[in-house]
């Protein structure tokens, strides 16, 4: 089986799933010829990202954005806790919302 590989929004080759080898779309490439034979037999490559992979990527992006916002606004909380100016209600609400957006992701090796 194979999976589509894109670069800068354009299909530029395939990933052979059995060994994760990249196969460029080059006629002289024996692996590409094997891929073309596989397609001629009626097979279709998997999309570049499965629905699960898209959801995982989107959650990672959400996590990164939320964590960045929380880190950037931590000093407001520390200032308030130290007896300084209180955070605005809007900022407290946004921080609470961002904390709820973050989910744990498995660590990849």
**What are the tens digits of pLDDT across the range 75-108?**
999 999 999 999 999 999 999 999 988 886 655 5
Give yes or no: residues 61 and 30 share one domain.
no
DSSP string, 37-92: HHHHTT--PBPSS-HHHHHHHHHHHHHHHHHHHHHHHHHHHHHHHTTSPPPPHHHH
Give yes or no: residues 63 and 23 share one domain.
no
CA distance 15 to 6: 10
Q: Is residue 32 part of a domain?
A: yes
The pLDDT score that the predictor gives to residue 84 is 92
The secondary structure element, H or E, covering residue 105 is none
Q: Is residue 106 part of a domain?
A: no
The pLDDT score that the predictor gives to residue 3 is 93
Which residues are within 8 A (CB) of 27 and not within 5 positions of it... i.e. 6 or more apart?
33
- In this prediction the pTM is 0.56
Number of domains in the chain: 2
Q: Is the dihedral of CA 33, 37, 42, 46 positive or negative?
A: negative
The CA radius of gyration of the chain, in Å to the nearest whole number, is: 23
Give yes or no: residues 58 and 83 share one domain.
yes
Q: Is residue 78 part of a domain?
A: yes
Q: Is residue 46 part of a domain?
A: no
Domain that holds residue 70: 51-101
Q: Is residue 72 part of a domain?
A: yes
Give yes or no: residues 60 and 95 share one domain.
yes
């Amino acid at each position: 089986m194979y999976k589509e590989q894109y670069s800068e929004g354009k299909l530029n080759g395939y990933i052979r799933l059995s060994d994760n080898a990249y196969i460029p779309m080059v006629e002289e490439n024996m692996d590409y010829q094997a891929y073309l034979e596989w397609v001629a037999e009626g097979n279709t490559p998997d999309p570049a990202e499965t629905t699960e992979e898209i959801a995982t990527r989107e959650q990672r992006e959400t996590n990164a954005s939320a964590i960045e916002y929380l880190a950037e606004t931590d000093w407001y909380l520390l200032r308030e806790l130290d007896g300084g100016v209180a955070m605005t209600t809007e900022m407290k609400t946004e921080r609470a919302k961002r904390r709820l957006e973050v989910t744990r992701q498995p660590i990849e090796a």
